[in-house]
Amino acid sequence: MSTAGEAIQDHDHDHDHHDHKATGVTRWLFTTNHKDIGSLYLWFSFIMFLVGGAMAMVIRAELFQPGLQLVDPHFFNQMTTVHGLIMVFGAVMPAFTGLANWMIPMMIGAPDMALPRMNNWSFWILPFAFAILLGSLFMEGGGPAFGWTFYAPLSTTYSSDSTALFVFSVHIMGISSIMGAINVIVTIMNMRAPGMSYMKMPLFVWTWFITAFLLIAVMPVLAGAVTMVLTDKYFGTSFFDAAGGGDPVMFQHIFWFFGHPEVYIMILPSFGIISAIIPAFTRKPLFGYASMVYATAAIALLSFLVWAHHMFTTGMPVFAELFFMYCTMLIAVPTGVKIFNWVATMWRGSMTFETPMLFALAFVILFTIGGFSGLMLAITPVDFQYHDTYFVVAHFHYVLVTGAIFSIMAAAYYWLPKWTGHMYDETLAKWHFWLSIISVNVLFFPMHFAGLAGMPRRIPDYALQFADINQIVSIGGFAFGLTQLMFLWIVIKCCRGGEKALAKPWDGAEGLEWTVPSPAPYHTFETPPEIK
């Protein structure tokens, strides 16, 4: 019954397998079970989503009308900064790690993650990282106020002392992500059931596999960047200070060398989720499986060649601007292939529209809109006009909220029956979907107009011609924020009870996870399944 998964674990542990789980707090503190840790990650990310969302509400409330009403500009900057950090590192990334923990072992027929103890650690250091980050908001001088991109020298010479805490918490987040990524890679390489060849793996496993390599490659670079910020601020180095021979623009090169792959870290697992859900509800196999894998890999590789498209206005020579413009435009090709494949999967299927499918369809449409604005942003001469305006804000919220977050919602609805053993309340879930999709577009679509009309991002107050647009955006924001509380209620309700879920509640679904009962037993696939 032992598998390679226990190679690093001590062997005594093998004996308390059969549902001898501890109870109470210790179960969660000391758990090495991939399903427990997956749940911890998912709950944590949801809490962070609400915290970051609350900050967004502060931002939208201040921007509801021109003039300063609620907060002072310094606090406003802290809100935009911490909102960004929390949503990226606290909500989206842990949610994907949670899904990976829950689903990857079940999808490849493994009994657990390969490194269960490290798994426990990689989760439990996260709450400390965010406690430090959030705690810094209460320091004298306030928390980080230099934007989530922490450009030097605003984050070095001109920042408050909370910067040290910010750096420390980013380090912990990075370590957590790296450990999670190592675990995913080792699990996928070593723990696949016999017969589960690489090209038979579900796309969610594939996209996470590639994402994990991206994480390994770029999180250390982020750690390097924050370390340099720390030494520049406190230890007299001048990496980014022209006075000592450094260059503030170099910070941006290093940051975006991390930052652009990071963007794909937050979207590739979404592609995997959508590639699981669309075939399930069209009752037709995914179109172009192999091309999906190659497209994902192509996107990941290209992501290392496009970082400077975030920096067109920093004053690069023309040859560099052209190079980065062409590479960026090139990314549209593999991304397009994915979209076309999904549409081809739907073509001549037999579709039904349960909530996971609704979110997945919304993902395809709205992510594509985000892709269009991304293509527009890639065109350097026009980017000079778009850069650092609300057009950019609209663009990345389309890819991150209606992209990443919507795919996470879709995944949650799709796998909730497997996790809890109950069907969620379909009526409430449909309400959640329709309210979300209306409010999210009221929230983010008008931002395109604000940006085109010339409204810069990260400002606490604005000229009068932006007043109407901002009012609409804020109303959409409040509505979208409130709607997400419904999701909390739906999940709690589903955990507590509801219609019993079958082992395979979706008739078109495919994959090993549907061969085990619902709820999934504490231990699954202790004997590897047969793969045809």
Which 329-348 positions form the footprint of other proteins (CB under 8 A)? 329-330, 332-333, 336-337, 339-340, 343-348
The answer to whether residue 454 forms part of the interface with other proteins (CB under 8 A) is yes
Quickly count: other Cβ atoms within 10 Å of residue 460's Cβ: 20
Q: Catalytic: 338?
A: yes
Residues 4-33 that bind other proteins (CB under 8 A): 4, 7-8
Active site residue 177: yes
* Closest CA relative to residue 111, chosen from 503, 431, 527, 429: 527
Q: How far is the CB of 45 from other proteins (least distance, A)?
A: 23
368 scored as a contact of other proteins (CB under 8 A): yes
Q: Is 489 a catalytic residue?
A: no
Supply 110's token pair: 């493994």
Q: Examine the residue annotation and report whether 448 is marked as an active-site residue of this protein.
A: no
Amino acid at 295: A
Could you give the CA distance from residue 181 to residue 357 in angstroms, rounded to a whole number? Answer: 28
Q: Is 112 a catalytic residue?
A: yes
| C-beta of 273 vs 286, nearer to other proteins | 286
Total number of residues binding other proteins (CB under 8 A)? 146
CA-closest candidate to residue 142, choices 95, 98, 79: 79
**What torsion, rounded to 10 degrees, do the Cα atoms 65, 68, 74, 76 define?**
-20
Least spacing, CB of residue 271 vs other proteins, in Å = 16
- Site for other proteins (CB under 8 A): which residue of 50, 58, 425, 461? 461
Task: Choose between 244 and 497: whose C-beta lies nearer to other proteins.
Answer: 244
What lies within 8 Å, CB to CB, of 38 at 6+ separation is 98, 99, 100, 101, 102, 103
Choose one: 39-47, 86-94, 261-269, 327-335; the region binding other proteins (CB under 8 A).
327-335
- The correct pick among 104, 223, 405, 494 for binding other proteins (CB under 8 A) is 223
457 annotated active-site: yes
User: Does the annotation count 237 as an active-site position?
Assistant: no
Q: Which residues on neighbouring strands pair with residue 422, listed in sequence order?
A: 500
The Cα–Cα gap between 528 and 108 comes to: 9
Contact, 78 vs 142, CB < 8 A? yes
Whether the CB-CB separation of 478 and 486 falls below 8 Å is answered with no
Give residues 394-433 in contact with other proteins (rule: CB under 8 A): none
CA angle 156, 147, 379 (to 5 degrees): 115
* Ranges within 287-316 binding other proteins (CB under 8 A): 287-291, 313-316
Stretch that binds other proteins, among 38-46, 120-128, 195-203, 469-477 (CB under 8 A): 469-477
Question: What one-character DSSP code corresponds to residue 310?
Answer: G
Q: Cβ distance 242 to 248 under 8 Å?
A: yes
Among 384, 434, 489, 522, binds other proteins (CB under 8 A): 384
Cα–Cα dist 264/218, whole Å: 11
Q: Which residue in the set 169, 275, 296, 389 belongs to the binding site for other proteins (CB under 8 A)?
A: 389
The residue with tokens 């901002």 is: 470
257 binds other proteins (CB under 8 A): yes
Among 21, 28, 125, 147, binds other proteins (CB under 8 A): 147
- Residues with catalytic function: 83, 112, 148, 176-177, 260, 262, 264, 275, 309-310, 335, 338, 457
